[in-house]
């Protein structure tokens, strides 16, 4: 894609997602994800009802009348967006591919964090760490993240979620708000997830297409595995084939839900033809 087309796409996503974050998610994000604590702001004269424990005795002695310390919430946080860029994200039978919905959700979350003066970082992963953008503030930084989400071409199409979590743990020494955007067609990450969520505030956002849940009866169909590139003829009229596929898919979904729930992390399921706005709002309100 040429530069002009890329900038046009970035601008289109910015307009849509920034409007959402300005008018809908700003307050919800703020109330859901609290700051690290209270930090000293200023002193003022004591007023009836003030907590006497907040009296600043040095200032009080200096002016011979009571003054209290005023504290405010220490808001600055760091949001890390972990985005699965493996081959299975390039799928969609409705209006959008999964990776397009992921880009919009990531942009909406990033602009919401920007409103609160938080830093935003990005990890793109397959079975390797494809790209790491360290956390930073500002609109131009968010636009860079959106550009990467639109045009980045991963070297691998496979998935290793556990390795991505280990990388996060290594680069983020302080607690962060972490959103993982993926279809979670993976396993063997339960233990790593438990360790990471013990330190960070983690939420998984599972993006999926309704056609992934079950194979329709279409007779003999040539299919390609998006992660391995393997072509195969599949007899979709076979009940056994359809049943085995459904079991495989739902086993992966159940593994995701169990791993996140048992580790204390949050989770959201969002189908590509559903409103991610409602899903995110519902999650924020539930947590807030």
pLDDT tens digits for range 215-246: 878 888 877 676 677 788 888 888 888 898 88
| CA 31 to chain centroid | 17
Among the CATH numbers 3.40.250.10, 3.40.50.2000, 3.40.50.410, 3.40.50.720, which is that of 3-32+77-287?
A: 3.40.50.410
Instruction: Report the share of the chain in percent with pLDDT over 70.
Output: 88
Residue 94 confidence class, pLDDT cut points 50, 70, 90: low
**Cβ(95)–Cβ(273) below 8 Å:** yes
**Cβ contact 91:98 at 8 Å:** yes
- Residue 92 · residue 98 · CB < 8 Å: yes
Q: What is the pLDDT of residues 178-212, one digit of tens each?
A: 999 999 988 899 999 999 999 999 999 999 988 88
Taking alpha carbons only, the member of 251, 247, 282, 252 closest to residue 266 is 282
Confidence of residue 146 (pLDDT cuts 50, 70, 90): very high
What is the location of CATH 3.40.50.410 in the chain? 3-32+77-287
Interval 243-252 mean pLDDT:
90
Look up the pTM and report it: 0.80
Supply the pLDDT for residue 247: 92
What pLDDT is recorded for position 23? 67
Mean pLDDT of the chain: 86
pLDDT band, very low/low/confident/very high, at 84 (cuts 50, 70, 90)? very high
Integer Cα distance of 93 and 46 in angstroms: 64
Average pLDDT on 108-122 reads: 90
Between 152 and 287, the more confident residue is: 152
pLDDT at 66 over 70: yes
Confidence label for 148 from pLDDT (cuts 50, 70 and 90): very high
């Amino acid at each position: 894609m040429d530069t002009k087309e890329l900038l046009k796409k970035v601008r289109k996503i910015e307009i849509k997602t920034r409007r959402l974050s300005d008018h809908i998610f700003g307050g919800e994000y703020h109330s859901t994800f609290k700051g690290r604590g209270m930090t000293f702001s200023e002193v003022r004269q004591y007023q009836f009802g003030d907590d006497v424990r907040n009296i600043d005795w040095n200032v009080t002695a200096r002016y011979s009348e009571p003054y209290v310390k005023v504290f405010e919430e220490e808001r600055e946080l760091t949001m890390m967006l972990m985005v699965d860029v493996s081959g299975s994200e390039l799928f969609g039978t409705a209006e959008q591919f999964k990776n397009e919905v992921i880009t919009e959700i990531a942009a909406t979350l990033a602009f919401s964090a920007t409103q609160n003066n938080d830093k935003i970082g990005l990890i793109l992963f397959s079975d390797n760490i494809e790209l790491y953008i360290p956390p930073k503030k500002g609109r131009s930084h968010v636009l860079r993240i959106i550009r990467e989400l639109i045009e980045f071409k991963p070297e691998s199409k496979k998935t290793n979620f556990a390795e991505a979590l280990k990388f996060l743990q290594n680069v983020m020494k302080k607690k962060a708000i972490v959103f993982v955007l993926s279809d979670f067609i993976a396993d063997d990450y339960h233990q790593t997830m438990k360790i990471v969520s013990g330190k960070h505030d983690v939420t998984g956002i599972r993006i999926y297409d309704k056609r992934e849940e079950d194979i329709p009866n279409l007779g003999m169909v040539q299919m390609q595995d998006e992660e391995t590139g393997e072509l195969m003829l599949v007899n979709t009229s076979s009940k056994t084939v359809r049943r085995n596929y459904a079991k495989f898919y739902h086993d992966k979904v159940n593994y995701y839900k169990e791993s996140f729930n048992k580790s204390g992390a949050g989770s959201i399921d969002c189908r590509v033809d559903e409103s991610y706005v409602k899903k995110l709002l519902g999650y924020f309100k539930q947590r807030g």
